[in-house]
Amino acid sequence: MFFYQADFKTCIGYDVYIESSNQNNVMDKDFNSETYTVDESISDTILWLMHHQEIFDSFHFDVHTQELSVTHAAGVDIIRVGMFLNAKYGILVTSI
């Protein structure tokens, strides 16, 4: 488990506590990168999204189905393992 404190320009600030499935792998990821490939770690995907809050409106994680959905300018996407997320254009662009 690890503790992450978010400090974004667009919000006052808040603390986030997320349990990572593989702590050693977390440190190798660049959450500030404009692109991200979704893997088995939902917590890492959420951290990447939190670093790019300007590209989406909201997200929802269903604990029963283990499904992450993101609402953004182009609609709603179900985020799945293997998807490529892109924040380069100021909106969330997803692809498989």
The neighbouring-strand residues paired with 45 are none
| Alpha-carbon gap, residue 17 to 23, rounded angstroms | 13
pLDDT in the model for residue 6? 47
72 φ, ψ (degrees, to nearest 5) = -145, -175
pLDDT in the model for residue 51? 96
User: From edge to edge, which strands make up the β-sheet containing 58-62?
Assistant: 58-62, 67-72, 75-79
Q: What is the largest CA-CA distance in the chain?
A: 34
5 φ, ψ (degrees, to nearest 5) = -110, 120
* pTM (two decimals): 0.72
Please list the pLDDT of the chain residue by residue as tens digits (96 residues): 334 444 444 444 444 444 545 444 455 889 999 999 999 999 999 999 999 999 999 999 999 999 999 999 989 999 999 999 999 999 999 997
